[in-house]
Amino acid sequence: MQSSEMLGKTPEVQLPAPVIGPGYTYGSVTDKISSLVLSRRTPLAWFVAFALASLGTAMLFGTIAYLLYGGIGIWGNNVPVGWGFDIVNFVWWVGIGHAGTLISAILLLFRQQWRTSINRFAEAMTLFAIANAGLYPLLHTGRPWFDYWLMPYPNTFGLWPNFRSPLVWDVFAISTYATVSFLFWYTGLIPDLATLRDRAKNPLLRILYGIFALGWRNSAAHWNRYHAAYLMLAALSTPLVVSVHSVVSLDFAAGIVPGWHATMFPPYFVAGAIFSGFAMVLTLSIPLRKAYGLEDFITMRHINNMAKIMLVTGLIVFYGYMMELFMGWYSGSQYEEYLILNRMTGPYAPLYWALILCNGLIPQLLWFRGVRNNLLVLFIISLIVNVGMWLERFVIIVTSLHRDFLPSAWGMYYPTIFDWTMFIGTIGFFLTLLLLFIRVLPVISIFEMRELVPESENA
Amino acid sequence: MNQTQVPSGLNRLQMLALIVGGVGFVLLMIGWFLSPAQFFPAYLVGYILWMQVALGCLAILMIYNMTGGGWGYVTQRILRAGMLTLPLLAVLFLPILLGLPTLYEWARPAAVAHDELLQHKSLYLNIPFFIARTVLYFVVWIGLALLLNRWLLHLDQSFDLAAGRRLRGLSGLGLGAFGLTVTFASIDWMMSIEPHWFSTIYGFMFATGAVAAAFALAIIVLNWLMKRTSLVEVVSTLNVNDLGNFLLAGVMLWAYMTLSQYLIIWSGNLAEETPWIYRRTTGGWEVVGLLLTIFHFFAPFLVLLSRTVKRRINWLVNVAGLVLLMRLVDLYWLIIPAFHESFYLDWLMIVAPIAIGGIWLAAFIWQLKKKSLLPLYDAGVEEKLLDYGRTQTSTHS
Amino acid sequence: MNNPTLYGLLAEFTTPEALIEATHKAHDMGYRKMDAYTPYPIEEVGHALGARGTRLPYIVLAGGLVGAIGGYLMQYYASVIDYPLNIGGRPLHSWPSFIPATFEMTVLLAAFAAVLGMLGLNGLPQPYHPVFGVPGFEAATRDRFFLQIEARDPKFDLEETRKFLESFQPEKVSEIERYKYPG
């Protein structure tokens, strides 16, 4: 059957949007993306956003300075609730970092072309999210100037880290993830840095881009190995990304606190991480494509697909909540049963129900194509999911800790003003780094976009 | 259009499968008569292996409907035949219903009377509710399979993009229903053999095992057909490579789930959980566990890292065979230690998977023969149209 | 005798098809010291150049094995030999606990092997290469496809090779000179 007949028979069916708008050539793709960095005037909105984000960054470093002076007693952490905002935010940020590597690696292995225009941006988001995540446990040690003790190295004390502790696994997982994500991101950038080197008019810029391009010259022999290396990095990153949030979940699950000790935690945390990561990519890319006129590169196809992945991972997370409830009862353990009861009716119950609303119910709207194609609604849903995933971590950490086995050891947790300034500060810091990235590096992979340009356009 | 014909060798294979299955079932009946206590656990292991294959086929077909991809186009009819064996499996479940008190402690009133925890759980773990749930699972699965089959065949007859979209919607909802039913089926049929024990990852583990088993089967059948039909001209290296990657993902996920459960229970070291892993790592069972670590994970994993193996189906098929065999060993290791503290294997445990497999295979071939080996409809068709449309508009402009 | 400062010849094409055709013909003619420059990776160009598989996978495998074995042994040495400490009554050699860090070390070293191996085999970083001196070569990172035949190829002859390259109707054929700096 000829395709034209197929088309002719069903004219009313709407085709999905393409991955790149019509009418682009190798040259115009290159010029458009590199002009964002090199020649286009920076929009006013960028300066406004940068100023606001910098305020947040200043607040973060102000809080850290006071934290170094005053100690972690300035936070709300207390004896039954030894992990408060610091670990909630740590897990939240690590989770957000997951979409980047997922998009870059897994979608590459599955040859999903639509990943191309969002991977670079999502990878950068990953790096900045991990940077923020890493701050929390490092500062939580109380004496961050001794943090190098976490690393295994022969030392004069004759000490080694305790490899039977999940917290040490975490050091390995997060630092490996940060390093490999950086390698992946930088490897992807090398050909584009060469493109910028060749386009830049300013000699200083040309030298700077030239240094980081490492002398890349688009040689076919180089491309050959480059392609192999890139695929292998993707194949390595895929299990890595799964392992990272699994190890984070083991920080909880390897202990015996009710609400933490569940065998489901590793896959459940990974699904939650992807869920929140895609929510953040949507939150950021919807305004970005508008501000920079990237609608032809980040098309409705991308937005739609990301919404679908959010729906799937959201359902897995919701399944996790249901399993917790069922197994809480099925276990027959009074502690597990009380935990469920306390979550639903205890002092933090409003947060639990808000969580069910944000992560369980509202994302069900994504079943409807109309919702997935409505940018404003999608943007709002993505914000709600970001909030919901934060609430999930709060509920898991705080409500599990504040009432565990002995009622005499129960307590409450209230964040202090410094918990909040630090949290809002990390958001500011994240946005600052992201805005700088948008300003100095290509937000979309130029060479991979050239691959997507249809042959006929260049004839 | 492409009507890849069913080879005649299939009839002979079906006959053979039927004979093996028939003889096997006679032996099973003798076993049942001689020792119900030996028969039921063996039957359960064999039954769940083929159940996992059929359920895996259903799940993969639904995933394919949503994602598209050449690998699914060439295996669609195999998966279809696999999922259409579910009505047969519903019938084959009947012997298990007759052995509930033998298999499940919670179904023995005498045991429940002395156990507070079982009394607590009897709200869920009781015979009428168990049967009702099992009926519900089969209604959902068979309903999904029949509906999917009908819509897929409809797309074969008339090219209808709107129907393709409906099929995707059904697959999305179907996967949700599948996740829930499979979880509770795994709790009911397998986890509740040791009714004091619980593990929230169990449903994920069961589903992963099912998908891995179904991919293994699909590769084996595809290889058999490629040797004998013109399918060999249609299936590309890339399709085989993708199937190899899915098998790799299957064994990696299996290892991930199994290790996660083990590590968490081992670290927690709680009295209500550790007996389960203790039983499976002592009394000779640790050897089976080690066997699984090597042959369900390390060996297939290392071999499948090589692209050369993944791109040659006559090599890949050996790995797939190993994985399918290890699925059986895994189920054996999950179920039998509940009945025997130290290593135990009897002839019924060998006969049961073969007997059920024979009958299953005959039904599978019966379904496979009914239609051409390649469908007309391809779930990736919209993307192809899109690319076509793009070249059209650009040449006109 | 060729000019000693001549590095080779560079033909510029506007389509990948033209480049692939020219490369195939050049390879058939017996030219071996060749390279092509394309704005994005094109597998066929590699095939046309007669490129064989790369050693990179073995380097990555080696990196991964070193990470796996080294990572496990480090934990074993630290927890069992050098600093044995009873923690929660767990065995000193708690193999389940050693798996996460072993896995992370495997991935870390394999990833480093992939990136450093790729750069090393490609001879990067290499700040200067004669081809950068050819005016208009910056289009290789935009929309042009180049074929380079080096002067050290035994079959290379300035006139013959130029004529051969011109037979494919490239945009232009330029000489690549050594020791010439851009700008």
pLDDT in tens, B127-141: 999 999 999 999 999
Residue type for position A280: M
Task: Report the candidate in C124, C105, B163 with the shortest Cα–Cα distance to residue A194.
Answer: C124
- CB-side exposure of B42: number of CA atoms within 13 Å? 25
Neighbours of A87 (CB within 10 A): 23
The band of B2, judged by pLDDT with boundaries at 50, 70 and 90, is very low
CB contact under 8 A, A224 and C101: no
DSSP string, C91-115: -SS-HHHHHHHHHHHHHHHHHHHHH
Across the interface, do A16 and B391 touch by the CB < 8 Å criterion?
Answer: no
Instruction: For residue B66, give the chain A residue with the closest CA.
Output: A308
Rounded to whole angstroms, what are the CA distances from C128 to A447, C8, C9?
A: 22, 16, 17
pLDDT over threshold 80, residue A24? no
> How crowded is residue A153: how many other Cβ atoms within 10 Å of its Cβ?
9
Q: Mean pLDDT over all residues of chain C? A: 85
Instruction: Using CA coordinates, name the residue in chain A closest to C122.
Output: A222
pLDDT score of A12: 43
Collapse the DSSP code of C10 into the 3-class scheme (helix H, G, I; strand E, B; otherwise coil) and give the result: strand
Provide the 3-class DSSP secondary structure of residue A454: coil
CA dist B174 → A115, B133, B144, B188, B367 (Å): 26, 17, 7, 21, 21
Chain C interface, Cβ < 8 Å to B: 61, 88, 96-97, 99
Which DSSP helix (H) or strand (E) runs through C177?
strand C172-177
Q: Is the pLDDT of residue B381 over 70?
A: no
> In this predicted structure, what is the pLDDT of residue C142?
81
Angstrom distance (rounded) from CA B323 to CA B309? 15
Task: Return the pLDDT at A361.
Answer: 93
Question: Strand runs (DSSP E) across chain B, as ranges?
Answer: none
Residue B322: its pLDDT value, please? Answer: 95
Give the Cα separation of C93 and C131 in Å (integer): 57
Mean pLDDT of B234-258: 91
Confirm or reject contact between B12 and chain A (CB < 8 A): no
Partner residue facing A261 (CB), from B183, B268, B385? B268
pLDDT band per the 50, 70, 90 thresholds, residue C130: confident
Cα A455 from Cα A26, distance rounded (Å):
10
The interface predicted TM-score of the complex, written ipTM, equals 0.90
Q: Which residue has the higher pLDDT, A44 or B87?
A: B87
The residue extents of the domains of chain C are 6-53+128-177, 56-121
Q: In Å, what is the CA distance from C24 to each residue of A82, B300, C21, C47?
A: 68, 39, 5, 9
Q: Pick the residue from chain A with its C-alpha nearest to B196.
A: A331
Reported confidence tier of residue A8, pLDDT bands at 50, 70, 90: very low
**Residue C51 host element (H or E):** none
Whether residues C97 and B262 touch (CB distance < 8 A) is answered with no
Position C8 scores a pLDDT of 83
CA–CA gap between residue A145 and residue C104 (Å, rounded):
25
Burial A185-197 (b: 16+ CB within 10 A, else e): bebbbbbbbbbbb
Contacts of C100 in chain A (CB under 8 A): 166, 169, 172-173, 243, 247, 250
How far is residue B66's CA from residue B167's CA, in Å, rounded to a whole number?
A: 8
Q: Give pLDDT, residue C1.
A: 45
pLDDT of C139 above 50: yes
Interface partners of chain A (CB pairs < 8 Å, 3 or more) are B, C
Pairing of β C34-37 and β C6-13: unpaired
How many residues comprise chain C?
Answer: 183
Q: Residue window 251-270, chain B: list those with CB within 8 Å of chain A.
A: 252, 256-257, 260-261, 263-265, 267-270
Higher pLDDT, B262 or A21: B262
Higher pLDDT, B387 or B323: B323
B193 neighbors B269 (Cβ within 8 angstroms): no
pTM of this structure: 0.90
Q: Give dist(CA B229, CA B233) in Å, integer.
A: 9
Rounded-to-integer distance, Cα B119 and Cα B100, Å = 17
Nearest chain B residue (CA) to A7: B385
Give me the residues of A, 262-301, that contact B with CB < 8 A: 262-268
| Per-residue model confidence (pLDDT) at position B385 | 56
Rg of chain A over Cα atoms, rounded to whole angstroms, equals 24
What range does the domain containing B256 cover?
9-385
Residue A5 is predicted with a pLDDT of 40
The partner residue sitting opposite C35, judged by closest CB among A165, A220, A451, is A220
Q: Is the pLDDT of residue B3 over 60?
A: no
| SS3 assignment, position C145 | strand
Can you give the pLDDT at residue A83? 92
Three-class SS state of B373: coil
Question: Looking at the domain assignment, is residue B392 inside a domain?
Answer: no
Q: Is residue B132 part of a domain?
A: yes
Among A6, A18, A330, beta carbon nearest to B159: A6
Neighboring chain C residues of B266 at a CB cutoff of 8 Å: 96
The enclosing H or E element of C34 equals: strand C34-37
How many CA atoms, within 13 angstroms, populate the side-chain half-sphere of residue A194?
28
What is the rounded average pLDDT of the residues A400-429? 93
Q: Residues 365-394, chain B: which have Cβ within 8 Å of A?
A: 376, 381-391, 393-394
Which pair of tokens denotes residue A358?
A: 């944000």
For B22-65, the pLDDT digits (tens) are 999 999 999 999 999 999 999 999 999 999 999 999 999 999 98
Domain count, chain B: 1
- Return the domain boundaries, chain A: 18-144+178-458
CB neighbourhood size of A201 (10 A): 8
